[in-house]
């Protein structure tokens, strides 16, 4: 089957069409069935802690709980319902909408191949308890969550930045963090290696990929057409018309001293010695 | 076994070659440009290909060394992240003079497509660069040609003088 052809002339020049009234489709939330494994899981959980909200999304059980209950909830599901694997955990930035983060734990029951997602909402300055004692895979996931989102984790054995350098400021995966970095990020390597006083010498980063520097014609030259540095562009054109070229010369052309050229003519001996 | 007669007066004069100190030093330097293995990203694959049998860097006397103390040229092949920038500067400082730097590929030249908070926008912000290779990634021929041009550059330099300070802070 061939893909239908769409004309691609001048796609770069056109502005992207964005519908201002487009709303991202929500995945349907279905009620939890009265019977089955998920119903038993939910019963076991609600006996131990408060369940704020529970529904089925794309065939998976999603449970919202209070962030203070996260250890209790995961311990119940792990020890009583055999959800023994934490396949993923992280946080989602909702700082602008709700002033906090949604932390989620994706757990898997290896016997029934059923998955549950536990979600809880933490405020920006609120800390969450580490689930590292229950699931060892939470170790690095929580460090990453702290590093990139800035969600504090209590009682983590080694809460250190995982991806960014140790002396980094800010949490880059927050939606408020600029993609090109804040001032600290833009000067990070200069400040660290040369010190702040070198900022004037080195200058700011060039973040504009389409920038054209007039002096590039002086700093760079076509191979074999090099002219003295600082030649103004008018003279450059004149030199080109005159046919001034600086040919690329190789070592071999002039003959390498100490190294003889290969003698193409075979040596013929008149008689055997 | 054939014995070759050595007749100095007949076959091209005495076995004496006259030259200058500059020339002989530069001849030695330019034909043994040992490179520091500095593969940071996908350009490293092309750098490895340049060293392997098909393109064969050994022909130019370029052998990859895993130690900055033994290397003459640093081929920065790949994306330099801000976290790594202090290490590249330290390794550059550990290289012995004379030393040269080849910036290989778009990422090393200008940051390339990684216009982000975590990427150094060009290695020349950290270390002085002698040669910039365009491409993403440059083919092994490009790197090979760069090494040949670097050899030419070395031959033009004055050998006994200490290197001109490039942009050192």
Distances (CA, A) of A169 to A199, A208, A223, B146: 18, 24, 44, 39
Give every CB contact of residue A11 below 8 A, 6+ residues apart in sequence: none
> What is the least distance, in Å, from the CA of B125 to any CA of chain A?
7
pLDDT at position A267: 75
The values of phi and psi at residue A71, to 5°, are -65, -45
Q: Residue A188 and residue B122: Cβ atoms within 8 Å? A: no
Interchain pair A179, B117: CB under 8 A:
yes
**Residue A22 reports pLDDT greater than 50:** yes
pLDDT band at B163 (very low <50, low <70, confident <90, very high): low
Query: How far A273 CA sits from the closest chain B CA (Å)?
Result: 6
Query: Taking CB atoms and an 8 Å cutoff, what residues of chain A touch B126?
Result: 189, 193
Are A258 and B17 an interchain contact pair (Cβ–Cβ within 8 Å)? yes
Query: Would you state the pLDDT for residue B168?
Result: 45
Note the pLDDT of residue B167.
47
pLDDT tens figures, A244-263: 766 666 666 666 665 566 66
Per the CB < 8 Å rule, is B82 touching A205?
A: no
Residue A265 has pLDDT above 60, yes or no: yes
Q: How many angstroms separate the CA atoms of B123 and B89, rounded?
A: 10
Interface A-B, measured as beta-carbon pairs within 8 A, has a size of 73
Cα B85–Cα B86–Cα B91 angle in degrees, nearest 5: 100
Tell me which chain A residue has its CA closest to the CA of residue B60.
Answer: A251
Residue B139 has a pLDDT of: 93
With an 8 Å Cβ cutoff, the interface of chain B facing chain A consists of 2-3, 17, 19, 23, 27, 30, 82-83, 85-86, 89, 110-111, 115-118, 120-122, 125-126, 148-149, 151-152, 155, 169
B164 pLDDT above the threshold of 60: no
Cβ–Cβ of B116/A181 closer than 8 Å?
Answer: yes
Of A74-78, A197-201, A249-253, the least confident? A249-253
A-chain residues within 8 Å CB-CB of B120?
A: 189
| A63 pLDDT higher than 90 | yes
pLDDT above 70: residue A29: yes
Asked whether residue A82 carries a pLDDT value surpassing 90, the answer given is yes
Predicted local confidence at residue A251, as pLDDT: 67
Alpha helices in chain A (DSSP H): 37-48, 70-79, 95-98, 138-144, 183-186, 188-193, 199-202, 216-219, 233-242
| Predicted confidence (pLDDT) at residue A10 exceeds the cutoff of 80 | no
Q: How far is CA A211 from the centre of its chain?
A: 25
- Chain A residue with Cα closest to B90: A193
For chain B, the average pLDDT equals 86
- The C-alpha atoms of residue A132 and residue A141 are separated, in whole angstroms, by 9
Q: Lowest-confidence range among A85-94, A148-157, B49-58, B148-157?
A: B148-157
pLDDT of B20 higher than 90: no
Residue A236 and residue A18: Cα distance in Å, rounded? 47
Instruction: Name every chain B residue with its beta carbon within 8 A of the beta carbon of A256.
Output: 27
Mean pLDDT value of segment A237-243: 78
Residue B19: name the closest of A259, A253, A263 by CA: A259
CB contact (8 A) between residue A202 and residue B169: yes
| pTM higher than the cut 0.90 | no
| pLDDT of A92 strictly over 70 | yes
Query: Pick from B117, B120, B149: which is nearest to A172 by CB?
Result: B117
**For chain A, domain boundaries:** 37-154, 218-253
**Strand order, beta sheet including A114-123:** A51-57, A60-65, A114-123, A100-109, A85-94
Average pLDDT value for chain A: 86
Q: What is the mean pLDDT of residues A184-201?
A: 92
**Between A60 and A217, the higher pLDDT residue:** A60
- Closest CB to A188 among B82, B110, B111: B82
Mean pLDDT of A216-236: 69
According to DSSP, the β-strands at A100-109 and B64-65 are: unpaired
pLDDT at B159: 72
> Can you give the pLDDT at residue A5?
75
> What would the mean pLDDT of A125-132 be, rounded to a whole number?
94
Q: Do A185 and B86 touch (CB under 8 A)?
A: no
Q: Which residue has the higher pLDDT, A237 or A12?
A: A237
DSSP, collapsed to helix, strand or coil, labels residue A116 as strand
Residue A101 has pLDDT above 70, yes or no: yes
Which residues in chain A touch residue B149, judged by CB atoms under 8 angstroms apart? Answer: 223, 248
If one looks up domain A37-154 in CATH, what number appears? 3.30.460.80
Please report the pLDDT score of residue A252 as a whole number: 65
d(CA B136, CA A169): 31
Q: What confidence tens digit (pLDDT) does each residue in B54-103 have?
A: 999 998 899 999 999 999 999 999 999 999 999 999 999 999 888 999 99
Residue from B132, B127, B161 nearest B43 by CA: B132
ipTM of the predicted structure? 0.79
- Residues A161, A162, A164, A165: what is their CA dihedral angle, to the nearest 10 degrees? 60
- The pLDDT of residue B165 is 54
CB contact under 8 A, A251 and B122: no
In B, which residues are within 8 Å of A180 by CB distance?
A: 115-117
Per-residue pLDDT band at B158 (split at 50, 70, 90): confident
Q: Do A256 and B27 touch (CB under 8 A)?
A: yes
If you write DSSP's letter for every residue of A34-72 in order, what string do you get? SSSHHHHHHHHHHHHS-EEEEEEETTEEEEEE-GGGHHH
pLDDT for B114 equals 92
pLDDT > 90? residue A75? yes
Model pLDDT, residue A247: 65
Contact by Cβ (8 Å): B118, B81:
yes
Diameter of chain B measured on Cα atoms: 70
Q: Is B83 in Cβ contact with A206 (below 8 Å)?
A: no
């Amino acid at each position: 089957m061939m893909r239908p052809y769409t004309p691609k002339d001048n796609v770069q020049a056109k502005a992207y069409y964005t519908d201002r009234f487009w709303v991202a489709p929500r995945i349907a939330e279905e009620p939890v069935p009265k019977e089955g494994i998920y119903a038993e899981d939910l019963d076991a959980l609600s006996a131990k802690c408060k369940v704020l909200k529970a529904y089925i999304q794309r065939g998976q059980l999603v449970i919202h709980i209070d962030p203070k209950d996260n250890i209790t909830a995961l311990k119940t599901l792990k020890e009583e319902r055999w959800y023994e694997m934490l396949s993923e955990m992280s946080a989602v930035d909702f700082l602008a909408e709700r002033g906090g983060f949604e932390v989620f734990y994706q757990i898997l029951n290896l016997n029934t191949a059923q998955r549950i997602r536990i979600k809880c909402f933490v405020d920006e300055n609120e800390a969450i308890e580490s689930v590292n004692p229950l699931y060892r895979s939470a170790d690095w996931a929580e460090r990453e969550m702290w590093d990139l989102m800035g969600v504090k984790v209590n009682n983590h054995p080694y809460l250190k930045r995982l991806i960014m350098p140790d002396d980094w400021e800010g949490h880059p995966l927050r939606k408020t963090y600029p993609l090109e970095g804040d001032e600290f990020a833009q000067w990070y390597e200069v400040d660290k290696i040369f010190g702040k006083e070198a900022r004037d010498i080195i200058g700011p980063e060039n973040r504009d990929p389409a920038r054209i520097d007039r002096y590039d014609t002086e700093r760079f030259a076509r191979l074999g057409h090099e002219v003295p540095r600082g030649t103004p562009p008018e003279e450059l054109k004149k030199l080109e018309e005159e046919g001034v070229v600086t040919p690329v010369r190789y070592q071999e052309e002039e003959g390498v001293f100490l190294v003889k050229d290969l003698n193409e003519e075979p040596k013929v001996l008149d008689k055997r010695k | 076994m054939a014995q070759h007669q050595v007749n100095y007066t007949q076959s091209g004069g005495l076995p004496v070659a006259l030259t200058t100190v500059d020339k002989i030093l530069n001849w030695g330097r330019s034909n043994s440009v040992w490179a520091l293995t500095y593969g940071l990203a996908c350009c490293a694959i092309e750098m490895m290909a340049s060293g392997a049998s098909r393109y064969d860097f050994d022909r130019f006397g370029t052998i990859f060394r895993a130690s900055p103390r033994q290397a003459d040229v640093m081929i920065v092949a790949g994306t330099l992240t801000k976290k790594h920038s202090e290490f590249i500067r330290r390794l550059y400082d550990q290289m012995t003079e004379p030393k040269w730097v080849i910036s290989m590929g778009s990422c090393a030249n200008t940051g390339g497509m990684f216009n982000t908070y975590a990427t150094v926008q060009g290695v020349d912000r950290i270390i002085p660069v002698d040669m910039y290779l365009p491409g993403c990634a440059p083919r092994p021929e490009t790197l090979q040609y760069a090494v040949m041009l670097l050899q030419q550059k070395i031959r033009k330099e004055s050998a006994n003088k200490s290197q001109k300070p490039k942009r050192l802070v």
